[in-house]
Amino acid sequence: MGQGLLQIGLTLCIIIAISPLLGRYIYSVYIGRKSLLDPLINPLEKIIFFLAGVSKKDSMNAWQYIRAVLATNLCMGIVVYLLLINQKILPWNPTKLGIVKWDLVLHTTISFLTNTNLQHYGGENTFSYFSQIAALGFLMFTSAATGLAVGIAVIRGLTGKPLGNFYLDITRGITRILLPISIVGAIALISLRVPQTLSAPMVVNTLEGETQYIARGPVASFEMIKMLGNNGGGFFAANSAHPFENPNGASNLIEIIAMVAIPAALIHTYGFFANNRKQAWLLFWMVFMIFLVLLGITVAGEYRGNPLINNLLTEAVPNLEGKEVRFGWAQTALWAVISTATMCGAINGINDSLMPNGSFATLSNLFLQSVWGGIGTGIIHLLIYLIMAMFLAGLMVGRTPSFLGKKIEQREILLVSLVLLIHPMIVLIPSAIALLNHVPLSGITNPDFHGFSQVIYEYAAASANNGSTSPGLSNNNLWWNLSTAFSMLLGRYVPIIAILLVAESMAQKPLVPKSIDSLRTDSLLFTSFTVGIMLILTALIFFPVMILGPVAEGLKLAAGT
């Protein structure tokens, strides 16, 4: 156990060290500060802005920003759908993969467009190299950059600045953050033996005289933006448990850090915009402690192992079901919690094989959406909880609630409440329909409490725009494809619209003069109060689901049945 905990500790120390540095860099990108990349990137951006007819001085109001987000996403979605549905006649298809069902293509398009990357297909067996690079790889960059742009716009608005221009923000996110880091990361993965080729699958003759086809492709570049952009969709069906996506401990470390780097850094970026580094560090440690508790719950369950199996052995062993031996139980537990915390959804083991403790922790991440949360969307949900906490704290002490010196009024609370309520609605309602209907139930391969958790997990991942799923769920049919696509769309765009309106409303309000009894957001007391609000609101909505799922399953295992 000591070695596993040491690996986890060193990984977390690296994350703590790099997050403020990356947060400062992201801040400098979005305020237009000069950098070493300028000689290379400036000419490229000038061409892009000239072709798009965008000026660096342009700024948008909330509805203009929203329309820009929706219009660009709609156009990208249509183009990608057409590429995927016509892959049979397009190039770079060495395995001659044919036409894919329209509902699966629609689901896949929406999934990658919304930065969810929930896969109801096997990567190497369904989509060609061209489809994975030109369609899905393209959306991996643009969907992550869209979330990042919206997150920055919201931070600007809440800190009293103009929202900015979406076209400038999405371009800078790609050219100055996602693309440079992805290039460096992909080169590192190639050096660690991750394939990067357009050659057809390798044909080998086995010792038994049989022929075996070994799938390969442009994996390294795909893998890096998958992790950095919190995309999660794998080039291969086995995702990052596949040795070509994640061959060893070094690649595993790189991919874990890539997953959490930007979501953790954005908390510090907010601190720079708000000119309040103290509050940023308090929020960082608040999120880190919640994450650490959920990680501890998962680690404890995996280390103790399955009691039904250990009762048959002379010595208890950790839970090794669904684990890759080159990573072990500790790195798989760490990956599962980080992947669901960051809304990435990639796997290096089978989440469905986690003990009930792990199911509880991963579901909690999907329900909270702010530990650490997705790129841009994580900081948005964290700020929403801050606004709600300040509103409730103001009511409790009899003061007019304000956030960063601006009054919180009815309009803001209505929009914030909409964001907090839309998530449980599009998780619980379709889950209830699925559990009551025998057609979708045909895809549930596990009975009892575990099967219940599988259904909840599927819709929680879709609504939270997290790409992980329960492998035991046969979800590639019309019901699952369309219902989860609906959850993904609402889970992505309703919060974006609502929070941009909140940000603009707050930006336009006058500052409230500070007084001796003003509530401060950069205090340990308020941060602790915010934690309580997050956990209480989440528990009130989702605790019954937890009882019927992982908690009941854990009690059943403990009873030896």
DSSP label at residue 516: T
When divided into structural domains, the chain yields a total of 1
Q: How many CB atoms lie within 10 A of CB 197?
A: 12
Cα–Cα distance, 204 to 392 (Å, whole number): 65
* pLDDT tens figures, 129-169: 999 999 999 999 999 999 999 999 999 999 999 999 999 99
What rounded mean pLDDT belongs to the chain? Answer: 91
Q: Is the pLDDT of residue 469 over 80?
A: no
* pLDDT band per the 50, 70, 90 thresholds, residue 59: confident
Cα–Cα distance, 174 to 142 (Å, whole number): 7
Q: Which of 380, 303, 374 is nearest to 343 (CA)?
A: 374
Token representation of residue 156: 């600007």
Q: What is the mean predicted confidence (pLDDT) over 61-86?
A: 96
The model's pTM: 0.94
Cα–Cα distance, 531 to 277 (Å, whole number): 19
Q: Which position has the higher pLDDT, 510 or 255?
A: 255
Residue 316 confidence (pLDDT): 80
Residue 398 confidence (pLDDT): 75
Q: Is the pLDDT of residue 308 over 90?
A: no
In angstroms, the Cα distances linking 517 to 148, 159, 293, 394, 506 are: 35, 21, 33, 11, 21
* pLDDT band per the 50, 70, 90 thresholds, residue 556: confident
* Percent of the chain scoring above 70 in pLDDT: 97
Phi and psi dihedrals of 196, rounded to 5?
-145, 90
Q: Is the pLDDT of residue 397 over 90?
A: no
* 500, 64 Cβ separation under 8 angstroms: no
Q: Which position has the higher pLDDT, 311 or 102?
A: 102
55-64, 242-251, 353-362: lowest mean pLDDT where? 55-64
Q: Is the pLDDT of residue 357 over 70?
A: yes
34-43, 239-248, 512-521: lowest mean pLDDT where? 512-521
* pLDDT tens figures, 114-130: 999 999 998 888 999 99
Bridge partners of 183?
none
* 459, 484 Cβ separation under 8 angstroms: yes
Cα–Cα distance, 11 to 68 (Å, whole number): 38
What's the length of the chain?
561
Q: What is the mean predicted confidence (pLDDT) over 236-254?
A: 93
Q: Is the pLDDT of residue 471 over 70?
A: no
Residue 283 confidence (pLDDT): 96
Residue 439 confidence (pLDDT): 66
DSSP label at residue 204: E
Q: Is the pLDDT of residue 216 over 70?
A: yes
Residue 302 confidence (pLDDT): 93
Q: Which residues constitute the domain of residue 72?
A: 2-558
Bridge partners of 473?
444
DSSP label at residue 518: P
* pLDDT band per the 50, 70, 90 thresholds, residue 547: very high
Cβ-proximal residues to 445 (8 Å cutoff; 6+ apart), any chain: 451, 472, 473, 474
Tokens 């016509």 appear where? 86
Q: Which of 255, 251, 470 is nearest to 342 (CA)?
A: 255
* Percent of the chain scoring above 90 in pLDDT: 70
Cα–Cα distance, 472 to 451 (Å, whole number): 9
Residue 209 confidence (pLDDT): 82
Q: What is the mean predicted confidence (pLDDT) over 433-462?
A: 82
